[in-house]
Structure 1
Amino acid sequence: MRPLAPGVHQLLGRPPHMVNAYLVEDVLVDAGTPSARKRITRQLDGRAIAAHVVTHAHPDHFGSSHAVCERYDVPLWAGAKDVEAITTATPVPSPGLAGSLLSRMKMPSPHPVARGLGEGDEVAGFTVLDVPGHSPGHIALWRDHDGVLICGDVFFNVLRPSAPPKILTFDDERNRASMRRLAELRPKLVLFGHGRPLRDPDRLLRLVG
C-alpha cells in the first residue's frame, strides 16, 4: 500500500492508478472490479478492517465488495440512493446506447448494504458529501482539517483532471454541479476512482470554470 496522508493509504493496482481503492483507517473505500479480489485481499490480510464503503454503484467500484465483506465479515455501506443497485447488482444505466449495453454486462455478485449513507454522516474521520450525477447515490468523503478529498468518479484524473465520460454518467448536469461543489472546497489532496492523486486544487477550479 502507498501512504498518502495520515491514516490514508492507496491500494496498489494493476496497472497503477487505473482503478483505485483506498484504506482509510480501518475502512476500505471501493473494491475495484471482480478480478481485483485477490489483489485487494492480499493487501488487506492481516489488517483490522471494520467496514467497507462504496462511493457509487458501478461494477468497477463494487466489483469485489461481496468477496471483501464475506472474507472479513464487515458491513457494506454506500450512498442511500445507490443501495438498491448494489444490493441487487443492477446499476442504474446512463442514458443512451452505451448505458443500455453496459446494463447487459455480467455484473458483480450482489451484497446487502447494511447502512445507507447521506450528507453529513461520518466515516473514519471523514464527512460524507452527497454528490450525485455519475450515479444517483454517489458520495464523496471529505476531511476538513487537512483538506483530503476522496471524490470517487465525480472527477477523473486519467492523463489530466476531467469530468467522467458522459456515456457512463447517469446525469451529466447534476455531476457538473457536484464537480463545482467539490472544487470549491479547494482540497489539498484529491483521491480519484481513476487516476493519480492531485495536490493542486486550482486545477479543479479551472476545470469547472
Structure 2
Amino acid sequence: MEIIPGIYAINTHRLGRAYLYREADKLTLIDTGLTGRSADVSAAIEQVGRVEDVRQVIITHWHVDHTGSLAEVAERSGAQVLVHTLDAPIVRGERAGPGPQGAWRYLGPLFERVGKPALPTRVDRELSDGDEIDLDGGARILHVPGHTAGSIAVYVPGRRLLFAGDAMANVFGLRPPIGVLTEDKVQARASIRKLAELDFDIACFGHGRPLDRDASRAVRRLAERLG
C-alpha cells in the first residue's frame, strides 16, 4: 500500500507493518516483520524495486515482529543495519531481551510460540537520540524508550512524516504501546509527549493503519489524555 508517493506499508502479520521508503537511487526498509516472513517482505519490496537496492534497514526496536526477517533480508540485500545502541546487543544475539511484563510473564512460552526468536544479526550502526541518517535529505532519530529501552522513531521533517515504531499503536484508535510487552509504561508515556512536540502530517505505526492527515494533532491529543 502506497501511503504517499515513495512511502509504502508492508503488511507483515495481522496488524503489523514494516515500511519501505523509495528514493531515486535507493530503498530504505523500516522493520522487517516476523521470523519466517522474509519471502513476503521480499515480494513486497520487489513490487517497488529490487531487494538488492535496499541500502539500509532501520530497526525501531528489537521485538521479533520487527526483527524476525532481518537476518535474511540483510544477507540478501547487503544493506546496512541501523539499531539503537540499547537494543543492538539483543539484535546481535549477545543477550536476551526482557519477556512479557507483570502477571503476563507466566505466558512467556505462549508468546514464544506465536513469534519464533529472530536469528542474531549484525548491526552496522548503533543509533542515539538526535542522530541524523541519510534518508530523503536528512532524517532524525528520536529515542523513545518505554516499549523497549532502545525504541526509536524516525522523523523526516522534509516530508512532514514520522515513523513511530511501537511508541504508539493505531489499533481501535490511537493509543500507547501494548502494555504486556512494554518494559516501562512511565517512559512510554513520556516518549509520547516527546513525539507530541513535533510537527508532522503523516504518522506510520508498527501496528495499525497510518494517519495520513493532522497526525501531530492526534498525537498531541493522546499525550494530553495520558497526562
TM-score (norm 1): 0.90
> After superposition, where does 1:1-209 map in structure 2 within 5 Å?
2-13=1-12, 15=14, 18-25=15-22, 26-45=27-46, 46-47=49-50, 48-88=53-93, 90-99=96-105, 101-102=107-108, 105=112, 106-123=116-133, 124=135, 125-198=138-211, 199-200=213-214, 201-209=216-224
Provide the identity percentage. Answer: 33
Q: Does structure 2 retain, via aligned residues, the 8 Å contact 1:180–1:205?
A: yes
Q: Deviations over 1:8-31 (max 9, x none)?
A: 22124454xx11111123111000
Report runs of 4+ in structure 1 exceeding 6 Å deviation. Answer: none
Q: Does structure 1 retain, via aligned residues, the 8 Å contact 2:169–2:176?
A: yes
Q: 1:28 to 1:158 in 2, by over 3 A?
A: same
Cα distance in 1 for residues equivalent to 2:79 and 2:28: 9
Instruction: Give the total of aligned pairs.
Output: 206
Q: Which range moved further: 111-120 or 4-13?
A: 4-13
Cα distance in 1 for residues equivalent to 2:202 and 2:218: 12
Q: Deviations over 1:29-79 (max 9, x none)?
A: 000101321110112244211111110010110011011111112222111
Cα distance in 1 for residues equivalent to 2:177 and 2:196: 15
Q: Does structure 1 retain, via aligned residues, the 8 Å contact 2:146–2:187?
A: yes
Structure 1: which 5+ runs fail to align? Answer: none
For 2:129, what is the secondary structure of its paired residue?
coil
Q: Does structure 1 retain, via aligned residues, the 8 Å contact 2:152–2:164?
A: yes
For 1:186, what is the secondary structure of its paired residue?
coil
Q: Does structure 1 retain, via aligned residues, the 8 Å contact 2:12–2:34?
A: no
Structure 2: which 5+ runs fail to align? Answer: none
Q: Give 1:110's aligned amino acid.
A: P
Q: Does structure 1 retain, via aligned residues, the 8 Å contact 2:131–2:140?
A: yes
Cα distance in 1 for residues equivalent to 2:28 and 2:123: 15
TM-score (norm 2): 0.83
Q: 1:10 to 1:180 in 2, by over 3 A?
A: same
The two structures, once aligned, show a CA RMSD in angstroms of: 1.9
Q: Give 2:209's aligned amino acid.
A: R
Q: Does structure 2 retain, via aligned residues, the 8 Å contact 1:93–1:100?
A: no
For 1:164, what is the secondary structure of its paired residue?
coil
Cα distance in 1 for residues equivalent to 2:103 and 2:179: 12
Cα distance in 2 for residues equivalent to 1:148 and 1:133: 21
Q: 1:108 to 1:147 in 2, by over 3 A?
A: same
Q: CA deviation at 1:87?
A: 0.8
Q: Does structure 2 retain, via aligned residues, the 8 Å contact 1:90–1:107?
A: no
Q: Give 1:10's aligned amino acid.
A: A
